[in-house]
Amino acid sequence: MEKDWLVVDKLLSKIKITSNPNNKPVTIHGSLDDLRCIGVGTDAAVFQYAHKPQYAFKLYAEDKKEKIQIEAVVYQRLKNSPFFATCYAVYDRYLVLSFEAGITLYDCILQGIHIPQQVILDVEDARDFAKEQGLNPRDIHLKNILLQQGRAKVIDVSEYGKEGNDLRWEHLKKAYEQYYDLIDGKTIPFWLMQTVQKWYNQKNFGTFDEFMKDVLRLTFFRK
């Protein structure tokens, strides 16, 4: 049914999202039994409605609402690609997106779930498509890639309108090609993943190879 997601509009009006300094995740105020939070970022939180599970509702913080239209334009340009979610509608506080099932690559590593090479190839194709549409695919990391039946789905395209290369994907691809076989099938502790993420975000390492050597020391020689 056309716009059958509008039933959720009243529910979302009871939820407030506030941003936090230092690029920390947003804070969610309020809750409803039929709304499940399925993702939290620095600008918005994503919800799924129990009775319309095919949709995801990306609800923005009040001081981040100017980014809604920017992201909507990005989704419009990406609409013909199978590697990204679909944006069905744009409203004052939120986007209506297709709900994408799957497990993030971050959780795959935590749980020891195999990540096939096809995922890397799919992300490469997704990036090429985005570039062909005049976009700058960036902020692609373990939490922004879903594993769907052996294939990749890239989520969160909010930074594709920005300039510059954050090198996240290049580093992730290189780590997969050179080091993934060392941990493939092994469960990795959450504390270790958090530590590596913190080190990387601090950007105080030399070359990426030097960074990975430190990671391997922590991984295989911790007491």
Instruction: Look up residue 84 and give its DSSP letter.
Output: B
Pairing of strands 35-40, 44-49: antiparallel
pLDDT of the chain, 223 residues: tens digit per residue: 468 888 899 899 999 999 999 888 999 999 888 999 999 989 999 999 999 999 999 999 999 999 999 999 999 999 989 999 999 999 999 999 999 999 999 999 999 999 999 999 999 999 999 999 999 999 999 999 999 999 999 999 999 999 999 999 999 999 999 999 999 999 999 999 999 888 888 877 778 888 888 888 877 655 4
From 62, 65, 27, select the one nearest 45 (Cα to Cα).
27
Count Cβ atoms within 10 A of the Cβ of residue 183 and give its class: 0-12 exposed, 13-18 middle, 19 or more buried: middle
Domain 103-220 fold = Transferase(Phosphotransferase); domain 1 (1.10.510)
Nearest to 84 by CA among 72, 92, 71, 75: 75
Domain 4-98 fold is Phosphorylase Kinase; domain 1 (3.30.200)
Q: What is the pTM of this model?
A: 0.88
Query: What does the pLDDT read at residue 200?
Result: 87
The two tokens of residue 46 are 């994503």
- Where are the chain's structural domains? 4-98, 103-220
Q: Which amino acid is at 57?
A: F
At 223 the pLDDT is 42
pLDDT of residue 221: 58
The per-residue pLDDT for 135 is 97
| Spatial separation of the C-alpha atoms in residues 185 and 165, rounded to whole Å | 31
Q: What is the pLDDT of residue 222?
A: 54
Q: What is the pLDDT of residue 2?
A: 61
* CA dihedral sign, ordered 38, 145, 155, 86: negative
Helix, strand or coil for residue 180? helix
